[in-house]
Amino acid sequence: MDGADYGVLAAAWAGTAAASLSSDTAFVQSMLDVEAAWVQVQAEAGLCSAEDAQAVDQVASVERYDLRLLASRTPDGANALIPLLGMMRELLAHDNAPASASTALHRGATSQDIIDTALMLVLAKTVAQTQADLRSTADGLAGLAQAHRQTLCIARSLTQHALPTTFGWKAASWLSAVLDAEKQLETASLQLRLQWGGAVGTLASLEQFLADKKSAETSSRQLSSRLAERLGLQDPVAPWHTNRMPILQLGSALGAVIAALGTFGADVLTASRPEVGELSEQREAGKGGSSAMPQKQNPVRSVLLRNAAFASPGLLSTLFTAAGTAVDERPDGGWHAEWSALRELARLAVGAAFHGSFLANGLNVNLEAIGRNLALGGDAVLSERLASVLAPLVPGGKPAIQALVRHSLNEDASLFELLRKEIPEEDLSDDALRELFDPAGYLGAADRFTETILAEYSARKELWQSQN
Amino acid sequence: MDGADYGVLAAAWAGTAAASLSSDTAFVQSMLDVEAAWVQVQAEAGLCSAEDAQAVDQVASVERYDLRLLASRTPDGANALIPLLGMMRELLAHDNAPASASTALHRGATSQDIIDTALMLVLAKTVAQTQADLRSTADGLAGLAQAHRQTLCIARSLTQHALPTTFGWKAASWLSAVLDAEKQLETASLQLRLQWGGAVGTLASLEQFLADKKSAETSSRQLSSRLAERLGLQDPVAPWHTNRMPILQLGSALGAVIAALGTFGADVLTASRPEVGELSEQREAGKGGSSAMPQKQNPVRSVLLRNAAFASPGLLSTLFTAAGTAVDERPDGGWHAEWSALRELARLAVGAAFHGSFLANGLNVNLEAIGRNLALGGDAVLSERLASVLAPLVPGGKPAIQALVRHSLNEDASLFELLRKEIPEEDLSDDALRELFDPAGYLGAADRFTETILAEYSARKELWQSQN
Amino acid sequence: MDGADYGVLAAAWAGTAAASLSSDTAFVQSMLDVEAAWVQVQAEAGLCSAEDAQAVDQVASVERYDLRLLASRTPDGANALIPLLGMMRELLAHDNAPASASTALHRGATSQDIIDTALMLVLAKTVAQTQADLRSTADGLAGLAQAHRQTLCIARSLTQHALPTTFGWKAASWLSAVLDAEKQLETASLQLRLQWGGAVGTLASLEQFLADKKSAETSSRQLSSRLAERLGLQDPVAPWHTNRMPILQLGSALGAVIAALGTFGADVLTASRPEVGELSEQREAGKGGSSAMPQKQNPVRSVLLRNAAFASPGLLSTLFTAAGTAVDERPDGGWHAEWSALRELARLAVGAAFHGSFLANGLNVNLEAIGRNLALGGDAVLSERLASVLAPLVPGGKPAIQALVRHSLNEDASLFELLRKEIPEEDLSDDALRELFDPAGYLGAADRFTETILAEYSARKELWQSQN
Amino acid sequence: MDGADYGVLAAAWAGTAAASLSSDTAFVQSMLDVEAAWVQVQAEAGLCSAEDAQAVDQVASVERYDLRLLASRTPDGANALIPLLGMMRELLAHDNAPASASTALHRGATSQDIIDTALMLVLAKTVAQTQADLRSTADGLAGLAQAHRQTLCIARSLTQHALPTTFGWKAASWLSAVLDAEKQLETASLQLRLQWGGAVGTLASLEQFLADKKSAETSSRQLSSRLAERLGLQDPVAPWHTNRMPILQLGSALGAVIAALGTFGADVLTASRPEVGELSEQREAGKGGSSAMPQKQNPVRSVLLRNAAFASPGLLSTLFTAAGTAVDERPDGGWHAEWSALRELARLAVGAAFHGSFLANGLNVNLEAIGRNLALGGDAVLSERLASVLAPLVPGGKPAIQALVRHSLNEDASLFELLRKEIPEEDLSDDALRELFDPAGYLGAADRFTETILAEYSARKELWQSQN
């Protein structure tokens, strides 16, 4: 039986762009891209011929490689680049490429240069995809926040009903987390750095080559810059073979994205419970249904967001352990542990952003259920307000009022009536008292906060648009 | 570009049995095996026909499925069984199977039954493979411990030279961890349980079917038992849809295996450093070499053991998070996060045991380097002994002797001479004093401990042999 | 400002026995206990005088030490035993103890011996406390399972209503996880091993002492055994300085306990939501209330169980990382990282078992809410059954019935009437059809599973009682 | 036995500023500071009297509270603020403070406001301390990098000798990680935000109060701003009760700091091994010594850095899990799990920066050992260069040269002589050939990279100085 994975056990990202952007196939293609770009940069600098570059380009197609074979050779040198390079050279020979192509190939580079850079290319694509879907998620949440600025609902703490709020502010709170994560991801994307240092981070071999090739007018500095530019990566100030901070910043930002979406999904899961019923995922043909139980509509996308939120923290911890124990000029196992963990984090982020975007842009808001739940606790939900406003008017002050609240709850008695009896009408009219029972009058700064977050979103959105 | 993985980023297990035993292909085959076994059990109980079973068997070959398509449909219901079942039914139709086959297929089961059980099948195989290689690792380590019971070497604490010990006891210490982990894994393998509960863990649908089929003489209890037996899994006392303790026990044992091998690998890495030079991995063609630097032989297998040791703790933490937050009759995301984490742990264990076995059975022990390092600290390495034995004979006791040790180190003076000056020959002869400088006389219970561990190994080994 | 912690930020275990059983004070007392027991063992073997043992005993009270000072000296040698030993010797001098007491103190031991063993003593107590409360939790859950074997309730998967079950089976499922974890903890408690190996695990210094003291009839083997017995710990076959498997087994079992209780707490949290209302924590004076909102009763104990379930996986991962990277004869940082993580895990387990026990033994079950929620989905909740039983009787079979279910849900039409129209009365009487709508008739093996778990509990309970 | 901790099991930060800056005592003082500042802000806005503020200030001293009692009450409401508030009110009564003081106290606030804000105050101090020591670490490393720009040493990959490099570039590489982490920490410190939202993040109670107090000219917006300013925290745009992104950014940055120092410590540990001997920690009285083994000097500070590097990833994973599962308007357990994890991360960062600073500023560089190790591999260390430069001159090219290298290693033959035989002197003079064997000529861009990092350090240092 062959040994391939397709995402069958990775529901959180299977079927999304993560699969094609970050598969082994995509990663090997990225390694090939780095090698080909490097020969191209050399050719442009006159360090090898255009034919060499052309020949290497010919072997830089993943289709030409047997990835099962490649994987099986990976443990020989503890990384995949070493056997890949061998295979590339075999193909060059097979293609009757000039020997100089083989010499120019991988010139002065080390396997860590290629692997780290290829991972950065995979990350660049998955980060971009994540950003796009995260921004679309923000659009959806902003729409919800705006649309529901006046939608009263119950706010809960520690699972219990507490006070009224607006559904708009709830959506704006999700939005605020998404915006924070989106900003962190953008900052982190500046860490998408080329790795270029040669065997031990000195570029000794390349510099020797340039020195011998006295005609060369190009410095190793310039060559690195051109390679970074060609690959669309940051030009690093220096190799970072054992300085794994770029990996940590990127990993942390991806983890933050997943967490921001996880908390959104967690709230939708709660609100989708039949007893709560405030929210439901958009029904889509073939999604979330149960054939045996047609009444059942699973909140699949929220489940997947939670799946991602549970899976990412452990992966992130692997990156930090690896970074904090890196030794010498190349780590002795930590580096190797980064690869899968980092890619899986990126995949989860792509998957989460994809599902989050759908969820945010198609959420059904059940106003009836929201109203019903708000009313569930009766007038007691405003007890904080009543106690605070009426304390001066009721003998015994706050404690007396709180006792009335409890009495009302236990005896199912009207809190209005109980309070009415205690407060002379000359002190407070019926209307004024009744007004205190209106949850719409006790929303505090909910709308101001919503507006603030929406303004932040708008400013951010303008920036995104200006980037395109 | 297609979306398949082959282990290119998973050096720690690529190229080992993990690839074929636990690929998506293998997992899907396991799901098919569970479904087919279930229909077979039904047929034997007269609950469906032999033709039904035969028909389902025909569609239970993973080769008949497009796993890319399957993966892409996985997020629809947040698991792969739902679309797989649809595909199975399509194939039954395509094969012109009797309608009753489709009815018998998956009768009374739920997707969690199939997925959990299929994961258990994958685990059963990977655990067995791990056990085999772990036992072979133990053989190798026991051989080293036995062979080097008299090999003196330096013991180190916090990286520094401390006292003499034997290399045999060092190997026996690795062995003791491997034996502990092996025992834990065997205990955990009793948790390889069938999952069988139907939609909500009541088997209601199956029981209804049996009740309707009044002729049925078989109880759901018996059917579950037969299914477990057929699949080679433990017969559970009850469904464990949200009791994830079996997963935790298995995951912890796999993690322990990886850790036990990790500490072995960590010691080999240190000892392989050119400056230390006490150990080296067996040279194997095509392994660990560097074409650019032929003098360099990387301790590849130890690097891979360390890779596994770094990668597993985060995965294990995911399992515990998922288990501790499971809700309702099926968890809402935690269950989904288990799959990849558990499989990856199993893969790392297979890979680590494979490389550990090679390492243990082919380790080169450089006696010259071991002797050189033991001598590196000179006589000071026995200062604990000298201070303790000679304290009564030297004016000033221990502190005075320690001062002499420091003096000897700082001035590169002979400690023997310094002590000789302080101790009258009538109190201690030259020979007796000289004898105190022999590290072979200060090994304490090292050999007793080695023997004890070896005896434990022998007893254990007898048990393994009796199991075969 | 002084630097002491009291549990103010550790709500999950503050105020429980964890505080006193595992505080720094308790740990330092344990280190003192180990040192004192060791001198006592020596005295009994005639290796030092009874006066020596008496003198050491006098300084083995934690009250005599300034723990702030001790803590501040801890980094000097990277552990607390080194400065503690210095302080002990100062106190011996202050007490005018015989010099031989100071010599007997810590004879042949190393700081790792004392620290590992003291941690084992702390663990022994916290594990015992956890076991006691876990068993009490099991008692409570068994009571619930037994009492509610006939209590119908709705079963949920992926947050959605699925099929009927019994609340008894639900409680039995919690119980099954608790029993599994309890067994694992008992097995792991066999790993509460004495650590005794001297500087590098050879007991060289002790053996030298015994050799010099030719009169000594006692072997180091016997001395270790007696020390283990005196401390109530397992007699290890050999030192385990860098074989950290005992730590992993204990940590994993503690983590399993926390997870088993976490899933119980998670379900109670859901069921405590006002909209669900099926369960509530026992009201206790001063617990869970909100002064500002008297209507609010927070499910505090469940929140604390969840707190523990979230906090433990990361700690466990630290133990595995440390174990998998242990080097030499004493690890260079990993050992040090174990201490806090292991203690915190033990504390969380004590806290979780304490709160779990209260929760299980005082849970309010709201039968009205349970009934209301079961009825919430109307007849559709039995659609699986209807489709399966009636398929042969309705033209179009299962799909037709499922369409009727959807129609009934969308149009709020009576499913009974819709089906009645399709099925001739001669095929199925009104009574027989109506019976199919009774959830009590579709519980499958729920009660059998409950009974099985309860039987397992009873057997286990007998064992517990026999142990006392 | 009382239940206090002093850091006895936390060698990585015990005895550093972490103890006093983040103890429970310090945290409770921070909660008191927030409450006092809030009444002060009210007083300044005319919302209460100066006497009220004065009275609250009188009870805002941690010395007046029994923290053991407070801790024991913490589980009652699952946080420490609730019982603290009760105690504060008792003290106000005891002090005969005006009733209005008690009313102004905690007005409109919720326990999460106080706890989150108090944690931010603790973080602000620990972050500042970390930054200071991190910058001092950078100073030390920059000094090393500058001083050793010409110090040749061997570079290693996967533990094996690879090529020459400079010790200056090695130090600059550590510096680059420290600078990256320092920048990340500074960015994250912008997340030190006030939390102010009232029971459910709407400030409803406060707004009601302001509305009733019609004379009030101050908005809740302004009041929050003034409170933030008074406490030295960022003015948040809105409450972040369930948007835990600020916690994740801070935690990630602290984790990055610990990792950057961990990799430095890991290298020092390796280089401190007696067989390597290139580096040693500054000897300090009472640190790292072993009384029994005076020859032993443990690299204690590096061990503590590694301790921190192992302990932090699990804690960070807890923060991400908690953030990704936050629900409602206050999380039901995740929030509670954050407190200890976040504080412990901060403590580890303070401890690591403290020890890192000492280490970087007092590292002994053993030039003799560095030279010896560089020479250890003989000429083979330059095989990459020789193969590359001499390939055109030797029949058989690179492979032939590599064969000579192997021959030289196996037969202990002079590589110079072997090559000399192959290359006619007219093609390459003796001098020219000999020059190729000089490691100083094969350093590539090592010095350029060192210079670049040092320039980055200088620019950064200027910024730090401008901030003071």
Q: What does the alpha-carbon distance between residue B57 and residue B32 come to, in Å, rounded to a whole number?
A: 9
Q: Do D339 and C9 touch (CB under 8 A)?
A: yes
Q: What does the alpha-carbon distance between residue B15 and residue A75 come to, in Å, rounded to a whole number?
A: 7
Within 8 A of A376 by CB-CB distance, chain C residues are 274-275
Interface membership of D196 toward A (CB under 8 Å): no
pLDDT at C423: 94
Q: Could you tell me if D298 and D431 lie in one domain?
A: no
| Residue of A2, A74, A287 with shortest CB distance to B15 | A74
ipTM field: 0.97
Q: Which residues contact D116 (CB under 8 A, 6 or more apart)?
A: D195, D240, D241
- Name the nearest CA neighbour of C341 among C235, C228, C251: C251
From C86, which residue of chain D is nearest by alpha-carbon distance?
Answer: D291
Burial of C215 (0-12, 13-18, 19+ CB in 10 A): exposed
Tens of pLDDT along C217-248? 789 999 999 999 999 999 998 999 999 999 99
> What is the percent of chain D with per-residue pLDDT over 90, rounded to a whole number?
88
Angle at B221 between CA B218 and CA B226, to 5 degrees: 80
Q: How confident is the model at residue B290 (pLDDT cuts 50, 70, 90)?
A: low
State the total domains in chain A. Answer: 2
Within 8 A of C20 by CB-CB distance, chain D residues are 1-3
Boundary of a domain, candidates B347, B369, B391: B369
Q: Do D310 and C332 touch (CB under 8 A)?
A: no
pLDDT at B215: 66
Report, as an integer, the average pLDDT of B249-274. 98
Q: Do C316 and D313 touch (CB under 8 A)?
A: no
pLDDT of residue B272 exceeding 70, the answer is: yes
pLDDT of residue B441 exceeding 90, the answer is: yes
* D310 located within any domain: yes
| Residue of D23, D288, D310 with shortest CB distance to C4 | D23
- Helix or strand or coil: residue A163? strand
pLDDT at A286: 75
- C residues 204..223 contacting B (CB < 8 A): 204-209, 212, 220-221
Q: How confident is the model at residue C357 (pLDDT cuts 50, 70, 90)?
A: very high
Tens of pLDDT along D75-116? 999 999 999 999 999 999 999 999 999 999 999 999 999 999
pLDDT at A149: 98
Q: Could you tell me if B41 and B178 lie in one domain?
A: yes
Q: Which chains touch D (3 or more CB pairs under 8 A)?
A: A, B, C
Tens of pLDDT along B312-354? 999 999 999 999 999 999 999 999 999 999 999 999 999 999 9
pLDDT at D1: 58
The mean pLDDT of chain B is 95
Tens of pLDDT along B70-124? 999 999 999 999 999 999 999 999 999 999 999 999 999 999 999 999 999 999 9
Q: What does the alpha-carbon distance between residue D75 and residue C288 come to, in Å, rounded to a whole number?
A: 9
CB C119 within 8 A of CB C246: no
Q: Do A316 and D314 touch (CB under 8 A)?
A: no
Q: Do D320 and A157 touch (CB under 8 A)?
A: no
Q: How confident is the model at residue B216 (pLDDT cuts 50, 70, 90)?
A: low
Tell me how far CA of residue C244 lies from CA of A111, B32, B177, C320, D420, in angstroms: 34, 40, 7, 9, 55
Interface membership of C126 toward D (CB under 8 Å): no
CB B297 within 8 A of CB B280: yes
Q: Do D298 and B162 touch (CB under 8 A)?
A: no
Q: Could you tell me if B384 and B262 lie in one domain?
A: no
Q: Could you tell me if D365 and D389 lie in one domain?
A: no
Within 8 A of B267 by CB-CB distance, chain C residues are 327-328
pLDDT of residue A442 exceeding 90, the answer is: yes
Give the number of C-alpha atoms closer than 13 A to the C-alpha of residue C154, restricted to the C-beta side.
29
From D207, which residue of chain A is nearest by alpha-carbon distance?
Answer: A444
| Residue of C203, C248, C263 with shortest CB distance to B242 | C263
Q: How confident is the model at residue C291 (pLDDT cuts 50, 70, 90)?
A: low
Q: Could you tell me if D398 and D306 lie in one domain?
A: no
Within 8 A of C297 by CB-CB distance, chain A residues are 160
Run of H or E residues at B365 = strand B364-365
Within 8 A of C399 by CB-CB distance, chain A residues are none
Report, as an integer, the average pLDDT of C266-286. 93
**Structure tokens given for C214:** 């030719």
* C467 located within any domain: no
Tell me how far CA of residue D245 lies from CA of A201, B203, C107, D240, D252, in angstroms: 35, 43, 53, 8, 10
Q: Is beta strand A152-157 parallel, antiparallel or unpaired with respect to C364-365?
A: unpaired
pLDDT of residue C116 exceeding 70, the answer is: yes
- Name the nearest CA neighbour of C443 among C382, C376, C387, C391: C382
Q: Could you tell me if A418 and A334 lie in one domain?
A: no
pLDDT of residue C215 exceeding 70, the answer is: no
Q: Could you tell me if D382 and D364 lie in one domain?
A: no
Tens of pLDDT along A90-147? 999 999 999 999 999 999 999 999 999 999 999 999 999 999 999 999 999 999 999 9
Q: What does the alpha-carbon distance between residue A276 and residue A227 come to, in Å, rounded to a whole number?
A: 56
pLDDT at D422: 92
**Structure tokens given for C311:** 């906090």
Catalytic residue numbers of B?
290, 330
Tens of pLDDT along C441-465? 999 999 999 999 999 999 999 999 9
pLDDT of residue A467 exceeding 90, the answer is: no
Q: Do A310 and B318 touch (CB under 8 A)?
A: yes
pLDDT at B291: 63
How many residues does this entry show for chain B? Answer: 468
* C11 located within any domain: no
| Residue of A200, A252, A452 with shortest CB distance to D157 | A200
* A69 located within any domain: yes
Tens of pLDDT along C117-137? 999 999 999 999 999 999 999
Q: How confident is the model at residue D380 (pLDDT cuts 50, 70, 90)?
A: confident
Within 8 A of B70 by CB-CB distance, chain A residues are 6, 8
Q: How confident is the model at residue D385 (pLDDT cuts 50, 70, 90)?
A: very high
Q: Could you tell me if D382 and D286 lie in one domain?
A: no
Run of H or E residues at D397 = helix D397-411
- Helix or strand or coil: residue B107? coil
pLDDT at A292: 67
Q: Do B446 and C204 touch (CB under 8 A)?
A: yes
pLDDT at D291: 63
Q: Is beta strand B152-157 parallel, antiparallel or unpaired with respect to B160-166?
A: antiparallel
pLDDT of residue B292 exceeding 80, the answer is: no
**Mutation test of the interface with chain A: which of B1, B2, B8, B263, choosing the one with the most A Cβ atoms within 10 A?**
B8
The mean pLDDT of chain C is 95
Q: Which residues contact A410 (CB under 8 A, 6 or more apart)?
A: none
Q: Could you tell me if B185 and B273 lie in one domain?
A: yes
pLDDT at B218: 87
Q: Could you tell me if A340 and A399 lie in one domain?
A: no
Q: What does the alpha-carbon distance between residue C132 and residue D152 come to, in Å, rounded to a whole number?
A: 63
* A36 located within any domain: yes
Cα end-to-end span (Å), chain C: 46
Within 8 A of A2 by CB-CB distance, chain B residues are 20, 23, 25
Q: Is D330 a residue of the active site?
A: yes
Q: How many Å lie between the alpha carbon of D140 and the closest alpha carbon of chain C?
A: 21
Tell me how far CA of residue A229 lies from CA of A205, A217, A238, in angstroms: 22, 19, 15
pLDDT at D114: 98
Count of CB atoms within 10 A of residue A271's CB?
Answer: 27
Within 8 A of A317 by CB-CB distance, chain B residues are 313-314, 317
Q: Could you tell me if B172 and B298 lie in one domain?
A: yes
Q: Do A402 and C300 touch (CB under 8 A)?
A: no
Tens of pLDDT along D126-169? 999 999 999 999 999 999 999 999 999 999 999 999 999 999 99
pLDDT of residue B243 exceeding 80, the answer is: yes
DSSP secondary structure letters along B243-304: --HHHHHHHHHHHHHHHHHHHHHHHHHHHHSTTT-SEEPPP-TTSSB-SS-TT-B--HHHHH
- C residues 64..123 contacting B (CB < 8 A): 78, 110, 112
Q: How many Å lie between the alpha carbon of C121 and the closest alpha carbon of chain A?
A: 30
Tens of pLDDT along A184-200? 999 999 999 999 999 99
Domain with residue D206: its CATH number is: 1.20.200.10
Active-site position among C290, C317, C414, C429: C290
Report, as an integer, the average pLDDT of D258-272. 98
Q: Could you tell me if A361 and A382 lie in one domain?
A: no
The mean pLDDT of chain D is 95
Tens of pLDDT along A198-247? 999 999 999 999 998 876 678 999 999 999 999 999 999 899 999 999 99
Q: How confident is the model at residue C398 (pLDDT cuts 50, 70, 90)?
A: confident
The mean pLDDT of chain A is 95
**Mutation test of the interface with chain B: which of D268, D270, D295, choosing the one with the most B Cβ atoms within 10 A?**
D295
Q: Do C158 and A299 touch (CB under 8 A)?
A: yes
Tens of pLDDT along C80-111? 999 999 999 999 999 999 999 999 999 999 99
Q: Which residues contact C45 (CB under 8 A, 6 or more apart)?
A: C216, C217, C218, C222, C223, C226
Q: How confident is the model at residue C115 (pLDDT cuts 50, 70, 90)?
A: very high
Pick the range with the lowest mean pLDDT from B137-141, D43-47, D128-132, D210-214: D210-214
Q: Do A27 and B8 touch (CB under 8 A)?
A: yes
Boundary of a domain, candidates B369, B396, B415: B369
Q: How many Å lie between the alpha carbon of A314 and the closest alpha carbon of chain B?
A: 4
Interface membership of B317 toward A (CB under 8 Å): yes
pLDDT of residue D293 exceeding 80, the answer is: no
Domain containing residue D169: 18-369
Boundary of a domain, candidates D332, D353, D369: D369
* B24 located within any domain: yes
* D179 located within any domain: yes
* A403 located within any domain: yes
The letter for the amino acid at B218 is T
Within 8 A of C157 by CB-CB distance, chain B residues are 110, 112, 199-200, 328-330
Q: How many Å lie between the alpha carbon of D226 and the closest alpha carbon of chain C?
A: 25
